[in-house]
C-alpha cells in the first residue's frame, strides 16, 4: 500500500474520531454499495461491485471493513485497511434470493457488534449511509446491535468531505484533465448524421484510454431532445443546426469531475447564439463571486438576477452551483438564502442552466478549487471554449 495514500486515510480517521468524540459516538458504521459508494470509498478506498460494504471506525484500533464473498478479492486489492470480514447480509443487492457461497468464511453482525461492545466499549453507534441502505440491512444492524444506541451519522461524513486535502484536489484535477480529453473527443465526433450513442462512445473511449477508472455518466441530447435536461444518448441522428447538450462525468481514484459546454452542429441561428451568450455571461458573473468569505447565496442570487434581467428566469430550473468530490454533486448546494460562506479548500461546480427556452436548453458546468486568491479552474477546456466563443461573437 502506497505510504502517502495510507497517511491520507489515517488523517481521515483522525478527523472522523474528533467529530465522533464531539457528538458522543463510540463507533461509526459507514455504508456503501455500487450506487452510493462515496462515503465508503472516502473512508476505506473500497468500492463494491453489485454488492454492499461498510467500514467501521472505532475510537482506537484500525477500522474493520465488511464485504461480501464475490467482491472479497477486489476489496482486499482496494482497501487501505487489512481487517476484512464477510457478511451474508451484504451479498448481491439486486436479487431477493439467498445465494450460496460454499467457500465463504462468513462472520455476522452479531459477532461484530459483540466485539465492538466487548473490546471497544461501544454504546452509541453512528451510521453514515442509513438513507442508502436496504430496509432489511438496517433492521439486521439494529437487531444485532441490541442495547447499542444507533443514530444517524450522515452529517459527520458530509462535514468531513466539505474541505478537500491536497490529495483529493490532485485527484479532482486529474479527473478534470481526463474529462477535458473526453469532451474534446465528444465534440469532434458530433457531426451531421452521427447518432448520439456514437458521440457518447467517443467520449467513453477517450476517457478510459486517458486513465479514468469509471465514467459515471455521459449525457448526450441533440435537437429537440435537449429539453430532457439529463437525456441519455439514443439512436437519434444529429441534424444540421442541432444544439447539443452533453455532460460528461469522469471518476479518478474515487473523485469525480464534470464538464458541460453547449455547442451547435453545423449552422447556428442568431437566437441559438443569443441563448448560449446568456449562459456564458451568467457563468462569468458567478465566477466573480466564487471566492473565500463570499456568501454562497450571493453568488446564486447574482446568476438568478441576471436571468431575470434578460427575461429568461422562467427557464431557470435549479441552483447554479454545487460541490464536487467523492460524489458528482455534494455539499454545498446553495440557494439564494444560503448564509454559508465559500471557504478555501472547497471544490465546487458551476451548473448554469436554462431549460425549455424556445431556442434551446443547456448548461455550462465546470469545476473550481477555492484558493486564497479566489478560484482555480479544474477544467482548462471550458475556459478555452468560453474565450473562443466570445472571440467568434466579436467578429
Same domain, 176 and 265: yes
Same domain, 144 and 271: no
Cell of 79: 482497501
Instruction: Give the domain CATH number at 341.
Output: 3.90.230.10
Partnered with residue 218 across adjacent β-strands are 248
pLDDT (tens digit per residue) in 226-244: 998 888 999 999 999 999 9
pLDDT (tens digit per residue) in 48-74: 998 999 999 999 999 999 999 999 999
Sequential DSSP letters for 85-114: EE-GGGS-TT--S----TT--B--HHHHHH
Q: Which of 129, 145, 162 is the last residue of a domain?
A: 162
Q: How confident is the model at residue 395 (pLDDT cuts 50, 70, 90)?
A: low
pLDDT higher than 80, residue 168: yes
pLDDT higher than 80, residue 35: yes
Q: Which of 23-27, 30-34, 96-100, 162-166 has the lowest mean pLDDT?
A: 96-100
CA quadruple 377, 378, 380, 385: dihedral positive or negative?
A: negative
Same domain, 114 and 242: no
Alpha-carbon distance of 83 to 62, in angstroms, equals 8
Mean pLDDT calculated for residue range 376-391:
95
Instruction: Give the domain CATH number at 124.
Output: 3.40.350.10
Q: How confident is the model at residue 248 (pLDDT cuts 50, 70, 90)?
A: very high
Mean pLDDT value across the chain: 95
Same domain, 170 and 157: no
Alpha-carbon distance of 381 to 391, in angstroms, equals 15
Residues 6 or more apart whose CB falls under 8 angstroms from that of 366 comprise 259, 260, 261, 283, 349, 350, 377, 378, 379, 382, 383
Q: Which of 132, 162, 192 is the last residue of a domain?
A: 162
Same domain, 336 and 390: yes
- Contact between 261 and 364 (Cβ < 8 Å): yes
Same domain, 141 and 46: yes
Q: What is the pLDDT of residue 394?
A: 80
The boundaries of the domain holding residue 45 are 3-162
Same domain, 251 and 388: yes
- Map grid coordinates 457563468 to a residue: 283
First to last CA, the chain: 55
User: Tell me, what DSSP letter sits at residue 330?
Assistant: B
Sheet architecture: strand order including 64-67: 84-86, 64-67, 52-58, 27-33, 124-128, 149-152
Cell of 44: 476505506
Q: Which of 119, 140, 162 is the last residue of a domain?
A: 162
Same domain, 156 and 170: no
Number of domains in the chain: 2
Q: What is the pLDDT of residue 1?
A: 60
Same domain, 255 and 114: no
pLDDT (tens digit per residue) in 101-123: 888 999 999 999 999 999 999 99
Same domain, 148 and 206: no
Same domain, 236 and 338: yes
Alpha-carbon distance of 26 to 361, in angstroms, equals 49
Q: Enter the pTM of the model.
A: 0.95
Same domain, 208 and 148: no
Amino acid at each position: 500500500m502506497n505510504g502517502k495514500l495510507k497517511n491520507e486515510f489515517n488523517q481521515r480517521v483522525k478527523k472522523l474520531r474528533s467529530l465522533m468524540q464531539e457528538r458522543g459516538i463510540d463507533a461509526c458504521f459507514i455504508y456503501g454499495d455500487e450506487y452510493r459508494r462515496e462515503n465508503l470509498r472516502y473512508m476505506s478506498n473500497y468500492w463494491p461491485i453489485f454488492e454492499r460494504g461498510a467500514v467501521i471506525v472505532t475510537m482506537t484500533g484500525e477500522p474493520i471493513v465488511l464485504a461480501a464473498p464475490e467482491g472479497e478479492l477486489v476489496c482486499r486489492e482496494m482497501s487501505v485497511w487489512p481487517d476484512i470480514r464477510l457478511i451474508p447480509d451484504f451479498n448481491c443487492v439486486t436479487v431477493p434470493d439467498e445465494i450460496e457461497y460454499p467457500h465463504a468464511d462468513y462472520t455476522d453482525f452479531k459477532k461484530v457488534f459483540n466485539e465492538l461492545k466487548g473490546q471497544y466499549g461501544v454504546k452509541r453507534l453512528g451510521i453514515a449511509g442509513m438513507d442508502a441502505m436496504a430496509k432489511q440491512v438496517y433492521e439486521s444492524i439494529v437487531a444485532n446491535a441490541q442495547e447499542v444506541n444507533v443514530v444517524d451519522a450522515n452529517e459527520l461524513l458530509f462535514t468531513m468531505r466539505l474541505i478537500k486535502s491536497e490529495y483529493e484536489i490532485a485527484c479532482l484535477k486529474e479527473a478534470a484533465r481526463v474529462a477535458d480529453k473526453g469532451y474534446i473527443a465528444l465534440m469532434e465526433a458530433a457531426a451531421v448524421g452521427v447518432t448520439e450513442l456514437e458521440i457518447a462512445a467517443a467520449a467513453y473511449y477517450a476517457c478510459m484510454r486517458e486513465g479514468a477508472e469509471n465514467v459515471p455518466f455521459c449525457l448526450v441530447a441533440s435537437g429537440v431532445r435537449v429539453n430532457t435536461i439529463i437525456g441519455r444518448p439514443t439512436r437519434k441522428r444529429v441534424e444540421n443546426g442541432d444544439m447539443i447538450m452533453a455532460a460528461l462525468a469522469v471518476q479518478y481514484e474515487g473523485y469525480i469531475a464534470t464538464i458541460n459546454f453547449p455547442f451547435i452542429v453545423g449552422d447556428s441561428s442568431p437566437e441559438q447564439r443569443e441563448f448560449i451568450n446568456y449562459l456564458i455571461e451568467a457563468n462569468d458573473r458567478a465566477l466573480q463571486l466564487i471566492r473565500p468569505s463570499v456568501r454562497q447565496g450571493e453568488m446564486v442570487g447574482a446568476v438568478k438576477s441576471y436571468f431575470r434581467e434578460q427575461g429568461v428566469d422562467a427557464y431557470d430550473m435549479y441552483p447554479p452551483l454545487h460541490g464536487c468530490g467523492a460524489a458528482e454533486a455534494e455539499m454545498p448546494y446553495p440557494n439564494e438564502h444560503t448564509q454559508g460562506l465559500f471557504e478555501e479548500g472547497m471544490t465546487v461546480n458551476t451548473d448554469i442552466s436554462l431549460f425549455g427556452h424556445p431556442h434551446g436548453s443547456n448548461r455550462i458546468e465546470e469545476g473550481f478549487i477555492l484558493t486564497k486568491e479566489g478560484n482555480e479552474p479544474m477544467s482548462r477546456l471550458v475556459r478555452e471554449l468560453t474565450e473562443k466563443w466570445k472571440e467568434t461573437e466579436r467578429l
